[in-house]
Amino acid sequence: MSKVITVTLNPAFDIFYDTDLFEVGKENLIKTVLKTVGGKGINVSKALSANGIDNTAVFLSPKDGGSEICEEMSRLGIGYAAVPAEGRVRENITVRETSGRDTRIAVNTFSASPAVLSDALSAVSEKCEDGTVIVFSGKFPKNAGREERLTFLNSLKSLSPCLVIDSSSVTAEETVAIKPWLIKPNEQEIKAFGQGDDLFGICRNVRENGVKNILLTLGKDGAIYCGEDGEYEIKTPDVKPVSTVGAGDATVAGFVYSTVNGFDIEKKLKYSCAFGTSACLEEGTDAPKPENIERFADLVSVRKI
């Protein structure tokens, strides 16, 4: 049994190539290569585990590459349930230039049968208990249609009312239909729920449609929260990022971490953003370090609206 379960239906290898300059149409010399095991839900699990929160990562384990993910989860000491699937683990490639500019290439060719999705639900059910937070994060397999997505996510919600959804595969309409406990869109993603520059207004409309908590991340401009505990504007300290990939996943982990620890809302928001900021100092999608989180939590400012 687990108090936190993350669900990753489309795991990935995050591969980072460092170069002085990336030029389209030309041969590019790569100086260093970093390969990490990822997928958004797995990134959440890594951040939670590195900061003392036991959790179970449920993920599909494709025949080609799945064993490598299992080996890495064991090395990190993260409990997991690997659901066997056909196919190959997808790859997210980031080319990082010395100037700080990144070019990202996402390979999304993985598909999974309805039977495999059912097996994943069974794995979650076996680990779930009263009060478990379930984090569904990342993409669905490419062949999962609307009805399959809704059935899967509503089944997760039936197991726990504390369902987090952070997935570009789930439309705004589907999100409102499911009414999760928490969503964490970025500024581009929240515009799917409503147009205009009044971000708090858009979040209020989402709340009125049944989503309990919205934590909207705004990059270097911080974040805003609209939810059961009021409305807040959050400002984060400036940092020179090593990698911003996975920072949003760390922010989700910070909110869950704070919930499990029973923090009040202001402390919860400080730690959520401190997790995300700290993740930017790590290579690839490595987990944020506890000492950095504590340091940044003191520097995050929270203002009630």
For residues 41 and 12, what is the distance between their CA atoms, to the nearest angstrom? Answer: 10
30: domain CATH number?
Answer: 3.40.1190.20
Of residues 45 and 285, which shows the higher confidence score? 45
pLDDT band at 284 (very low <50, low <70, confident <90, very high): confident
Instruction: Tell me the residue range of the domain where 180 lies.
Output: 2-304
Strand duo 230-235 + 301-304: pairing = antiparallel
User: 221-252, pLDDT tens digit by residue?
Assistant: 999 999 999 999 999 999 988 888 889 999 99
Strand duo 90-97 + 102-106: pairing = antiparallel
| Residue pair 51/288 in contact by the 8 Å Cβ criterion | yes
Q: What token pair was written down for 139?
A: 């993409």
pLDDT at 2: 67
Does residue 291 surpass a pLDDT of 80? Answer: yes
pLDDT at 1: 55
Does residue 79 surpass a pLDDT of 80? Answer: yes
Mean pLDDT in residue range 247-262: 96
**Phi–psi pair at 42, nearest 5 degrees:** -65, -40
Sequence-distant (6+) residues with CB within 8 A of 145 are none
Domain total of the chain? 1
User: 178-229, pLDDT tens digit by residue?
Assistant: 999 999 999 999 999 998 889 999 999 999 999 999 999 999 899 999 999 9
| Residue pair 133/5 in contact by the 8 Å Cβ criterion | yes
SS (H, E, C) 250-270: HHHHHHHHHHHCCCCHHHHHH
Does residue 305 surpass a pLDDT of 60? Answer: yes
Mean pLDDT in residue range 157-168: 96
> 94 to each of 13, 19, 40, 177, how far by Cα in Å?
11, 11, 15, 34
For residues 298 and 267, what is the distance between their CA atoms, to the nearest angstrom? Answer: 10
Q: What token pair was written down for 200?
A: 């708090």
| Residue pair 282/250 in contact by the 8 Å Cβ criterion | no
Q: How many CA atoms lie within 13 A of 176 on its CB side?
A: 15
pLDDT band at 283 (very low <50, low <70, confident <90, very high): confident
According to DSSP, residue 186 is labeled B
Mean pLDDT in residue range 25-51: 94
Does residue 152 surpass a pLDDT of 60? Answer: yes
Whole-prediction pTM value? 0.94
Mean pLDDT of the chain: 94
pLDDT at 250: 97
| Residue pair 288/279 in contact by the 8 Å Cβ criterion | yes
Sequence-distant (6+) residues with CB within 8 A of 251 are 184, 215, 217, 223, 272, 273, 275, 276, 279
pLDDT at 108: 79
